[in-house]
Structure 1
Amino acid sequence: MPLRVTFVAAARSSPLLAERFQDDRPLDQAGWDEVQSVAGDLLPLAAAELRYCSPTPRSRATGDALGYAPLVQLALRDCDMGRWRGLTLGEAMAREPDAVDAWLADPRSTPHGGESLLAFITRVAGWLDTRPVGDGGRIVAVAEPSVIRAALVYVLKAPPSTYWNIDVRPLSATTVTGRAGRWNLRLDGVFAQPSRT
Protein backbone atom coordinates (compact mmCIF):
# COMPACT_ATOMS: atom_id res chain seq x y z
CA MET A 1 0.00 0.00 0.00
CA PRO A 2 1.25 3.51 -0.72
CA LEU A 3 2.11 6.04 1.92
CA ARG A 4 -0.43 8.85 2.38
CA VAL A 5 0.91 12.28 3.33
CA THR A 6 -1.58 15.07 4.00
CA PHE A 7 -0.18 18.57 4.19
CA VAL A 8 -2.26 21.09 6.16
CA ALA A 9 -1.43 24.72 5.46
CA ALA A 10 -0.78 26.75 8.61
CA ALA A 11 -3.27 29.41 9.57
CA ARG A 12 -2.25 32.97 8.73
CA SER A 13 -0.74 35.41 11.15
CA SER A 14 -1.49 38.39 8.90
CA PRO A 15 -3.62 39.42 5.92
CA LEU A 16 -2.37 38.06 2.59
CA LEU A 17 -0.93 41.36 1.39
CA ALA A 18 1.11 41.67 4.58
CA GLU A 19 2.72 38.19 4.25
CA ARG A 20 6.43 38.37 4.91
CA PHE A 21 9.31 36.16 3.80
CA GLN A 22 10.11 33.66 6.57
CA ASP A 23 7.39 35.09 8.77
CA ASP A 24 8.02 34.01 12.38
CA ARG A 25 5.04 35.81 13.89
CA PRO A 26 2.64 33.72 15.98
CA LEU A 27 -1.01 33.32 15.11
CA ASP A 28 -3.07 36.41 15.75
CA GLN A 29 -6.64 36.23 17.06
CA ALA A 30 -8.07 36.00 13.55
CA GLY A 31 -5.76 33.04 12.87
CA TRP A 32 -6.95 31.28 16.01
CA ASP A 33 -10.56 31.93 15.00
CA GLU A 34 -9.88 30.45 11.55
CA VAL A 35 -8.40 27.29 13.09
CA GLN A 36 -11.46 26.88 15.29
CA SER A 37 -13.80 27.35 12.32
CA VAL A 38 -12.27 24.40 10.38
CA ALA A 39 -11.18 22.20 13.30
CA GLY A 40 -14.10 19.83 12.82
CA ASP A 41 -13.00 19.10 9.24
CA LEU A 42 -9.29 18.75 10.03
CA LEU A 43 -9.43 17.02 13.42
CA PRO A 44 -9.75 13.49 11.93
CA LEU A 45 -6.25 13.86 10.48
CA ALA A 46 -4.94 13.58 14.06
CA ALA A 47 -5.39 9.81 13.66
CA ALA A 48 -2.31 9.72 11.38
CA GLU A 49 0.48 7.48 12.61
CA LEU A 50 3.05 10.27 12.19
CA ARG A 51 2.37 13.99 12.72
CA TYR A 52 4.87 16.69 11.77
CA CYS A 53 5.07 20.46 11.36
CA SER A 54 7.28 23.22 10.06
CA PRO A 55 9.31 24.98 12.76
CA THR A 56 7.41 28.29 12.46
CA PRO A 57 5.32 29.42 15.43
CA ARG A 58 2.14 29.49 13.35
CA SER A 59 2.66 25.95 12.01
CA ARG A 60 3.31 24.58 15.48
CA ALA A 61 0.34 26.49 16.92
CA THR A 62 -1.95 25.32 14.11
CA GLY A 63 -0.92 21.69 14.65
CA ASP A 64 -1.34 21.95 18.40
CA ALA A 65 -4.74 23.64 18.11
CA LEU A 66 -5.91 20.82 15.84
CA GLY A 67 -4.80 18.21 18.38
CA TYR A 68 -1.98 16.79 16.25
CA ALA A 69 0.86 17.26 18.79
CA PRO A 70 3.25 17.44 15.80
CA LEU A 71 7.01 16.90 15.80
CA VAL A 72 9.01 19.79 14.33
CA GLN A 73 10.85 18.95 11.11
CA LEU A 74 13.63 21.36 10.14
CA ALA A 75 13.47 20.13 6.53
CA LEU A 76 9.96 21.61 6.36
CA ARG A 77 11.17 25.13 7.15
CA ASP A 78 10.38 27.94 4.77
CA CYS A 79 12.82 28.94 2.03
CA ASP A 80 15.84 30.81 3.42
CA MET A 81 15.35 34.31 2.06
CA GLY A 82 18.63 35.74 3.28
CA ARG A 83 18.55 39.52 3.65
CA TRP A 84 14.91 39.63 2.51
CA ARG A 85 13.77 37.77 5.61
CA GLY A 86 10.90 39.66 7.25
CA LEU A 87 10.16 41.77 4.16
CA THR A 88 7.03 41.64 2.04
CA LEU A 89 7.50 41.06 -1.69
CA GLY A 90 6.61 44.73 -2.26
CA GLU A 91 9.28 45.89 0.20
CA ALA A 92 11.92 43.68 -1.43
CA MET A 93 10.87 44.98 -4.85
CA ALA A 94 11.15 48.60 -3.69
CA ARG A 95 14.68 48.00 -2.36
CA GLU A 96 16.06 45.66 -5.04
CA PRO A 97 13.80 45.51 -8.11
CA ASP A 98 16.39 43.90 -10.41
CA ALA A 99 17.28 41.28 -7.80
CA VAL A 100 13.61 40.37 -7.27
CA ASP A 101 13.08 40.09 -11.03
CA ALA A 102 16.12 37.78 -11.28
CA TRP A 103 14.85 35.67 -8.38
CA LEU A 104 11.38 35.30 -9.93
CA ALA A 105 12.82 34.43 -13.36
CA ASP A 106 15.59 31.96 -12.44
CA PRO A 107 14.93 29.14 -9.94
CA ARG A 108 18.68 28.77 -9.36
CA SER A 109 19.28 32.41 -8.41
CA THR A 110 19.99 33.61 -4.88
CA PRO A 111 20.16 37.41 -5.13
CA HIS A 112 19.00 37.66 -1.50
CA GLY A 113 21.95 35.61 -0.29
CA GLY A 114 19.78 32.73 0.92
CA GLU A 115 18.43 29.55 -0.67
CA SER A 116 17.44 29.21 -4.32
CA LEU A 117 13.94 28.11 -5.22
CA LEU A 118 15.39 24.96 -6.78
CA ALA A 119 17.34 24.11 -3.60
CA PHE A 120 14.19 24.72 -1.54
CA ILE A 121 12.10 22.38 -3.71
CA THR A 122 14.87 19.76 -3.56
CA ARG A 123 15.03 19.97 0.25
CA VAL A 124 11.28 19.49 0.65
CA ALA A 125 11.36 16.64 -1.91
CA GLY A 126 14.13 14.96 0.10
CA TRP A 127 12.00 15.12 3.23
CA LEU A 128 9.02 13.61 1.42
CA ASP A 129 11.10 10.81 -0.12
CA THR A 130 12.59 9.79 3.22
CA ARG A 131 9.30 9.21 5.04
CA PRO A 132 9.01 5.66 6.39
CA VAL A 133 6.73 3.58 4.20
CA GLY A 134 5.80 0.64 6.43
CA ASP A 135 2.44 -0.87 5.51
CA GLY A 136 0.94 2.18 3.87
CA GLY A 137 0.92 4.53 6.85
CA ARG A 138 -0.68 7.94 7.12
CA ILE A 139 1.22 11.13 7.82
CA VAL A 140 -0.03 14.64 8.47
CA ALA A 141 2.30 17.63 8.18
CA VAL A 142 1.32 21.20 9.08
CA ALA A 143 3.48 23.51 6.99
CA GLU A 144 3.75 26.94 5.51
CA PRO A 145 1.97 27.30 2.15
CA SER A 146 5.35 27.78 0.45
CA VAL A 147 6.51 24.36 1.67
CA ILE A 148 3.37 22.71 0.31
CA ARG A 149 3.83 24.46 -3.04
CA ALA A 150 7.39 23.14 -3.19
CA ALA A 151 6.17 19.60 -2.42
CA LEU A 152 3.54 19.81 -5.16
CA VAL A 153 6.07 20.96 -7.76
CA TYR A 154 8.13 17.88 -6.92
CA VAL A 155 5.18 15.45 -6.80
CA LEU A 156 3.87 16.65 -10.16
CA LYS A 157 7.38 16.59 -11.68
CA ALA A 158 6.64 20.11 -12.88
CA PRO A 159 9.20 22.74 -13.83
CA PRO A 160 10.26 24.94 -10.88
CA SER A 161 8.47 27.95 -12.42
CA THR A 162 5.19 26.14 -11.67
CA TYR A 163 5.77 27.07 -8.03
CA TRP A 164 4.50 30.59 -8.76
CA ASN A 165 1.23 29.22 -10.20
CA ILE A 166 0.15 27.14 -7.20
CA ASP A 167 -2.13 28.78 -4.66
CA VAL A 168 -2.24 27.09 -1.25
CA ARG A 169 -4.87 28.59 1.02
CA PRO A 170 -4.40 28.71 4.78
CA LEU A 171 -5.88 25.67 6.53
CA SER A 172 -6.34 23.77 3.27
CA ALA A 173 -5.44 20.08 3.16
CA THR A 174 -3.50 18.56 0.26
CA THR A 175 -2.79 14.84 0.06
CA VAL A 176 -0.11 13.00 -1.87
CA THR A 177 0.20 9.22 -2.05
CA GLY A 178 3.02 6.94 -3.10
CA ARG A 179 6.61 6.38 -2.11
CA ALA A 180 10.06 7.83 -2.79
CA GLY A 181 10.23 9.21 -6.31
CA ARG A 182 6.72 8.02 -7.21
CA TRP A 183 4.10 10.35 -5.84
CA ASN A 184 0.59 11.22 -6.93
CA LEU A 185 -1.58 14.17 -6.01
CA ARG A 186 -4.85 13.02 -4.49
CA LEU A 187 -7.87 15.30 -4.60
CA ASP A 188 -10.30 14.48 -1.82
CA GLY A 189 -13.21 16.46 -0.44
CA VAL A 190 -13.14 20.19 0.02
CA PHE A 191 -12.60 21.48 3.52
CA ALA A 192 -14.21 24.64 4.82
CA GLN A 193 -12.12 27.66 3.97
CA PRO A 194 -11.92 30.81 6.02
CA SER A 195 -12.37 33.98 3.99
CA ARG A 196 -9.74 36.48 5.02
CA THR A 197 -7.91 38.89 2.78
Structure 2
Amino acid sequence: MSVRLKLLAAARNSTLLETRFGDDRPLDAAGWHEAERAAPVLCRLAAAELRYCSPSARCRQTGEALGLRPLAQPALRDCDMGRWRGRTLGEVTAADPRGVEAWLADPRSAPHGGESLLEFITRIGGWLDTRPAEDAAGLLAVAEPAVVRAALVYVLQAPPHAYWRIDVQPLSVTTLTGRSGKWDLLLEA
Protein backbone atom coordinates (compact mmCIF):
# COMPACT_ATOMS: atom_id res chain seq x y z
CA MET A 1 0.00 0.00 0.00
CA SER A 2 1.06 3.56 -0.63
CA VAL A 3 0.86 6.47 1.79
CA ARG A 4 -0.04 10.00 0.75
CA LEU A 5 1.49 12.58 3.07
CA LYS A 6 0.93 16.31 2.69
CA LEU A 7 3.52 18.57 4.31
CA LEU A 8 2.18 22.04 5.06
CA ALA A 9 4.83 24.66 5.79
CA ALA A 10 3.91 26.75 8.82
CA ALA A 11 2.83 30.37 8.48
CA ARG A 12 5.48 33.00 9.14
CA ASN A 13 6.50 34.21 12.56
CA SER A 14 9.04 36.85 11.50
CA THR A 15 10.59 38.52 8.50
CA LEU A 16 13.48 36.69 6.82
CA LEU A 17 16.08 39.00 8.36
CA GLU A 18 14.64 38.44 11.85
CA THR A 19 14.60 34.64 11.50
CA ARG A 20 16.39 32.97 14.37
CA PHE A 21 17.84 29.47 14.71
CA GLY A 22 15.51 27.24 16.69
CA ASP A 23 12.93 30.01 16.75
CA ASP A 24 9.96 28.98 18.88
CA ARG A 25 8.16 32.31 18.71
CA PRO A 26 4.44 32.22 17.95
CA LEU A 27 2.94 33.43 14.69
CA ASP A 28 3.25 37.15 14.19
CA ALA A 29 0.27 39.29 13.08
CA ALA A 30 1.16 38.80 9.40
CA GLY A 31 1.37 35.03 9.90
CA TRP A 32 -2.06 34.88 11.56
CA HIS A 33 -3.51 37.04 8.78
CA GLU A 34 -1.99 34.86 6.04
CA ALA A 35 -3.21 31.66 7.69
CA GLU A 36 -6.73 33.03 8.13
CA ARG A 37 -6.74 34.25 4.51
CA ALA A 38 -5.57 30.81 3.28
CA ALA A 39 -8.02 28.87 5.47
CA PRO A 40 -10.78 28.53 2.83
CA VAL A 41 -8.33 26.80 0.47
CA LEU A 42 -6.28 24.85 3.04
CA CYS A 43 -9.23 23.68 5.17
CA ARG A 44 -9.51 20.68 2.80
CA LEU A 45 -6.39 19.34 4.53
CA ALA A 46 -8.56 18.63 7.59
CA ALA A 47 -9.86 15.58 5.72
CA ALA A 48 -6.58 13.81 6.52
CA GLU A 49 -7.20 10.95 8.92
CA LEU A 50 -3.91 11.51 10.75
CA ARG A 51 -2.75 15.09 11.37
CA TYR A 52 0.65 15.89 12.89
CA CYS A 53 2.73 18.99 13.50
CA SER A 54 6.17 20.06 14.56
CA PRO A 55 6.07 20.92 18.27
CA SER A 56 6.92 24.61 17.70
CA ALA A 57 4.45 27.34 18.60
CA ARG A 58 4.11 28.53 15.03
CA CYS A 59 3.30 25.05 13.70
CA ARG A 60 0.72 24.41 16.42
CA GLN A 61 -0.82 27.86 15.81
CA THR A 62 -0.87 27.36 12.03
CA GLY A 63 -2.80 24.14 12.60
CA GLU A 64 -5.12 25.96 15.00
CA ALA A 65 -5.74 28.85 12.58
CA LEU A 66 -6.69 26.36 9.86
CA GLY A 67 -8.87 24.22 12.12
CA LEU A 68 -6.65 21.14 11.68
CA ARG A 69 -6.05 20.16 15.33
CA PRO A 70 -2.78 18.32 14.63
CA LEU A 71 -0.92 16.13 17.13
CA ALA A 72 2.57 17.41 17.99
CA GLN A 73 5.37 15.02 16.99
CA PRO A 74 8.74 15.58 18.71
CA ALA A 75 10.51 13.89 15.77
CA LEU A 76 9.28 16.72 13.51
CA ARG A 77 11.07 19.42 15.50
CA ASP A 78 13.41 21.81 13.71
CA CYS A 79 17.14 21.12 13.59
CA ASP A 80 18.81 21.36 17.02
CA MET A 81 21.08 24.39 16.65
CA GLY A 82 22.76 24.08 20.04
CA ARG A 83 24.57 27.30 21.09
CA TRP A 84 23.19 29.15 18.07
CA ARG A 85 19.57 28.72 19.17
CA GLY A 86 17.72 32.03 19.34
CA ARG A 87 20.33 33.96 17.31
CA THR A 88 20.12 35.23 13.72
CA LEU A 89 22.50 34.06 11.01
CA GLY A 90 24.03 37.56 11.00
CA GLU A 91 24.70 37.42 14.74
CA VAL A 92 26.25 33.96 14.52
CA THR A 93 28.35 34.87 11.46
CA ALA A 94 29.76 37.89 13.32
CA ALA A 95 30.60 35.82 16.40
CA ASP A 96 31.66 32.53 14.76
CA PRO A 97 32.46 32.97 11.05
CA ARG A 98 34.53 29.77 10.84
CA GLY A 99 31.77 27.79 12.50
CA VAL A 100 29.19 29.07 10.02
CA GLU A 101 31.52 28.32 7.11
CA ALA A 102 32.08 24.75 8.36
CA TRP A 103 28.35 24.22 8.96
CA LEU A 104 27.46 25.38 5.42
CA ALA A 105 30.25 23.40 3.74
CA ASP A 106 30.15 20.07 5.60
CA PRO A 107 26.80 18.34 6.26
CA ARG A 108 28.42 16.31 9.07
CA SER A 109 29.60 19.44 10.88
CA ALA A 110 27.88 20.70 14.02
CA PRO A 111 30.02 23.59 15.30
CA HIS A 112 27.04 24.83 17.33
CA GLY A 113 27.00 21.66 19.43
CA GLY A 114 23.59 20.54 18.17
CA GLU A 115 22.58 18.35 15.23
CA SER A 116 24.51 18.27 11.98
CA LEU A 117 22.54 18.75 8.77
CA LEU A 118 23.02 15.08 7.96
CA GLU A 119 21.68 14.01 11.38
CA PHE A 120 18.67 16.31 10.90
CA ILE A 121 17.86 14.90 7.43
CA THR A 122 18.25 11.35 8.75
CA ARG A 123 15.92 12.05 11.70
CA ILE A 124 13.20 13.44 9.43
CA GLY A 125 13.64 10.51 7.03
CA GLY A 126 13.30 8.11 9.95
CA TRP A 127 10.00 9.75 10.88
CA LEU A 128 8.77 9.43 7.28
CA ASP A 129 9.72 5.77 7.15
CA THR A 130 7.71 4.96 10.27
CA ARG A 131 4.39 6.27 8.92
CA PRO A 132 1.58 3.71 8.74
CA ALA A 133 1.73 1.44 5.69
CA GLU A 134 -1.88 2.16 4.81
CA ASP A 135 -3.68 5.47 4.73
CA ALA A 136 -7.40 5.38 4.15
CA ALA A 137 -7.83 9.15 4.28
CA GLY A 138 -4.28 10.51 4.09
CA LEU A 139 -1.72 12.03 6.39
CA LEU A 140 -0.86 15.65 7.06
CA ALA A 141 2.04 17.29 8.86
CA VAL A 142 2.29 21.01 9.62
CA ALA A 143 6.02 21.56 9.78
CA GLU A 144 8.79 24.11 9.84
CA PRO A 145 10.07 24.93 6.33
CA ALA A 146 13.41 23.37 7.37
CA VAL A 147 11.65 20.08 8.10
CA VAL A 148 10.00 20.13 4.66
CA ARG A 149 13.40 20.79 3.05
CA ALA A 150 14.97 17.91 4.98
CA ALA A 151 12.11 15.59 3.96
CA LEU A 152 12.59 16.50 0.31
CA VAL A 153 16.33 15.82 0.42
CA TYR A 154 15.62 12.44 2.03
CA VAL A 155 12.82 11.46 -0.36
CA LEU A 156 14.75 12.47 -3.48
CA GLN A 157 17.91 10.82 -2.13
CA ALA A 158 19.67 14.07 -3.00
CA PRO A 159 23.08 14.93 -1.59
CA PRO A 160 22.77 16.82 1.73
CA HIS A 161 24.04 20.10 0.25
CA ALA A 162 20.89 20.17 -1.93
CA TYR A 163 19.10 21.21 1.28
CA TRP A 164 20.47 24.75 0.83
CA ARG A 165 18.92 24.98 -2.66
CA ILE A 166 15.31 24.27 -1.68
CA ASP A 167 13.05 27.22 -0.89
CA VAL A 168 9.88 26.38 1.05
CA GLN A 169 7.38 29.21 1.30
CA PRO A 170 5.02 29.68 4.27
CA LEU A 171 1.72 27.82 3.86
CA SER A 172 2.94 25.87 0.81
CA VAL A 173 1.87 22.24 0.49
CA THR A 174 4.23 19.46 -0.60
CA THR A 175 2.82 16.00 -1.33
CA LEU A 176 4.81 12.82 -0.86
CA THR A 177 3.59 9.36 -1.81
CA GLY A 178 5.04 5.95 -1.10
CA ARG A 179 6.16 3.92 1.87
CA SER A 180 9.22 3.25 3.99
CA GLY A 181 12.34 3.78 1.90
CA LYS A 182 10.40 4.32 -1.35
CA TRP A 183 9.03 7.83 -1.50
CA ASP A 184 8.06 10.03 -4.45
CA LEU A 185 7.40 13.73 -4.77
CA LEU A 186 3.96 14.44 -6.25
CA LEU A 187 3.41 17.82 -7.88
CA GLU A 188 -0.28 18.63 -8.05
CA ALA A 189 -2.09 21.29 -10.05
* Range class of TM-score, shorter chain: over 0.9
Q: Secondary structure at the match of 2:126?
A: helix
Amino acid aligned to 2:28: D
Tell me how far apart the structure 1 counterparts of residues 32 and 91 of structure 2 sit (CA, whole Å): 27
1:118 aligns with 2:118: yes
Match of 1:175 in 2: 175
Stretches of structure 1 that go unaligned for 5 or more consecutive residues are 190-197
- TM-score, normalised to structure 2, is 0.98
**What displacement does 1:137 show?**
4.5
Cα drift, residue 60 of structure 1: 0.2
| Aligned counterparts, 1:42-191, within 5 A | 42-135=42-135, 137-189=137-189
Separation in structure 2 between the aligned mates of residue 101 and residue 175 of structure 1, nearest angstrom: 32
Q: Which runs of 5+ in 2 are unaligned?
A: none
Closer/same/farther in 2, CA of residues 32 and 155 from structure 1, 3 Å limit:
same
CA contact (8 A) 2:49 2:136 kept: no
Residue identity in the other structure for 1:93: T
Q: Is the 8 A contact 1:76 1:124 kept in 2?
A: yes
SS in 2 for 1:12: coil
Alignment partners' CA distance in 2, 1:103 and 1:153: 17
Q: Number of aligned pairs?
A: 189
* TM superposition shift of 1:38: 1.0
**How many Å separate the matches in 2 of 1:123 and 1:59?**
18
CA RMSD of aligned residues (A): 0.9
Separation in structure 2 between the aligned mates of residue 184 and residue 128 of structure 1, nearest angstrom: 12
